[in-house]
């Protein structure tokens, strides 16, 4: 009886861990070419930084929301019924979008530093 209980707990924990959407902070930036921003002025880089930063924040919020939804489905399935576990999708699309946006932001920061831009003003 004890072995069955331990096995059941391990299975539920595995499903919860593998099926859930990733934490936004655990998503690694995808390499993005600096050449995409190299031709921009410091003012343009500043505007682009704000635009991408807003998108990163929005995608982070969406990823967090989807993670909470997946966790809720996981606990519902663990407590009430197993079919709810199939409702967890992990949402790779949002995670991929967030990884690309993080890469864009890092690229903007590198180009900005190379051009010695401070905010929107070149030095």
What is the pTM assigned to this prediction? Answer: 0.63
**Choice among 29-38, 55-64, 112-121 with the minimum mean pLDDT:** 112-121
Distances (CA, A) of 60 to 24, 81, 99: 6, 30, 10
pLDDT of residue 111: 96
| pLDDT (tens digit per residue) in 28-51 | 999 999 999 999 999 999 999 999
Measured distance CA(16)–CA(76) in Å, rounded? 11
For 83-92, 93-102, 110-119, which range has the lowest pLDDT when averaged over its residues?
A: 83-92
**CA–CA separation, 47 vs 51, rounded Å?**
6
């Amino acid at each position: 009886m004890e072995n069955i209980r331990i096995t059941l707990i391990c299975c539920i924990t595995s499903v919860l861990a593998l099926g859930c959407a990733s934490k936004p902070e655990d998503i690694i930036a995808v390499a993005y070419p600096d050449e995409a921003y190299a031709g921009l002025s410091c003012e343009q880089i500043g505007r682009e930084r704000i635009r991408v930063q807003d998108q990163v924040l929005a995608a982070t919020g969406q990823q967090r929301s989807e993670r909470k939804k997946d966790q809720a489905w996981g606990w519902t399935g663990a407590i009430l019924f197993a079919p709810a576990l199939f409702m967890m999708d992990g949402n790779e699309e949002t995670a991929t979008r967030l990884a690309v946006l993080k890469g864009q932001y890092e690229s903007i920061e590198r180009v900005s530093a190379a051009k010695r831009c401070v905010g929107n003003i070149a030095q």
